[in-house]
């Protein structure tokens, strides 16, 4: 059962930035240029990977196209997972509680809680805090993995590769340009300054950064997306979002 500490109805639609739980229990967050989904407890697709909903403006009218392309046990367009024996390990259930930490007309901070699941002999939980600002194409993420015995852990951050046409790996980022049937292209990517261990050819067909840490410590990164029918219409424009 979804527990909402802050009612989604409190989100002001007139503001550029908003977050809400929709009728399906999914978390939808957006600003004037991007829109994203995280599947909730009522969604049959179990994943903590973010899915980009295509968004652009046409003659001052907002156009949204829902791809509904999220896959289970996948980072999809961006996310994280535990890395265990060279395999990505995801939560066994979608988030089951949600709270808005801070909201203004120009930014929102909210937290999602994923229920405990078992990895080997250990019990694991995930708490994710997201910060989205206007008019950014990327957003900040803070993931905290808690393991019962407090052991060292390895976390992978990245995205699933689907229809990649171009990509670039930098000192602290990976960005890619992917084709979408009949809809042009989508840009995906992430920035992870806490490590220099990156690979485009990660497990389960993911592009990832690998970060070794301890249970309970924050893992902080940024990720985002764009649609080629928006103002970022090419890979060169997209990758500039990461070359900072």
Sorted by where each begins, the domain ranges of the chain are: 3-239
pLDDT confidence of residue 59: 75
Query: 206 has which bridge partners?
Result: 160, 202
pTM to 2 decimal places: 0.93
Average pLDDT over residues 112-118: 97
- Contacts (Cβ under 8 Å, ≥6 apart) of 98: 2, 3, 4, 5, 6, 21, 27, 40, 110, 111, 112, 113
Average pLDDT over residues 97-106: 97
Q: Would you say domain 3-239 falls under CATH 3.30.420?
A: no
Interatomic CA distance for residues 237 and 239, integer angstroms = 6
pLDDT in tens, 48-101: 999 999 999 887 889 999 999 999 999 999 999 999 999 999 999 999 999 999
pLDDT confidence of residue 14: 58
Interatomic CA distance for residues 72 and 213, integer angstroms = 25
pLDDT confidence of residue 182: 85
Interatomic CA distance for residues 227 and 64, integer angstroms = 10
Query: 3 has which bridge partners?
Result: 97
Residue 244's pLDDT band (cuts 50, 70, 90): low
Omega before residue 187 within 30° of 0, cis: no
Residue 13 has pLDDT above 60, yes or no: no
pLDDT confidence of residue 243: 87
């Amino acid at each position: 059962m979804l527990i909402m500490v802050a009612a989604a109805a409190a989100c002001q639609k007139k503001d550029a930035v908003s977050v809400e739980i929709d009728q399906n229990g999914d978390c939808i967050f957006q600003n004037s240029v991007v829109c994203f989904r995280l599947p909730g407890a009522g969604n049959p697709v179990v994943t903590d990977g973010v899915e980009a909903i295509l968004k652009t403006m046409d003659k001052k009218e907002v156009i949204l196209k829902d791809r509904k392309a999220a896959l289970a046990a996948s980072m999809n367009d961006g996310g994280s997972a535990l890395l265990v024996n060279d395999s990505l390990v995801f939560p066994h259930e979608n988030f089951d509680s949600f709270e808005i930490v801070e909201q203004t007309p120009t930014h929102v901070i909210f937290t999602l809680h994923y229920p405990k699941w078992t990895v080997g002999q250990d019990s694991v939980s995930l708490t994710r805090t997201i910060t989205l600002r206007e008019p950014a194409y990327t957003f900040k993420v803070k993931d905290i993995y808690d393991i019962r015995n407090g052991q060292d852990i390895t976390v992978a951050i990245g995205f699933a590769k689907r229809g990649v046409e171009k990509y670039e790996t930098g000192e602290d980022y990976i960005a890619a340009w992917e084709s979408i049937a009949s809809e042009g292209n989508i840009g995906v990517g992430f920035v992870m300054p806490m490590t220099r261990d990156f690979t485009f050819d990660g497990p389960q067909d993911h592009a990832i950064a690998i970060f070794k840490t301890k249970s309970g410590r924050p893992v902080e990164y940024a990720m985002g997306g764009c649609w080629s029918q928006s103002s970022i219409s090419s890979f060169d424009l997209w990758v500039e979002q990461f070359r900072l």
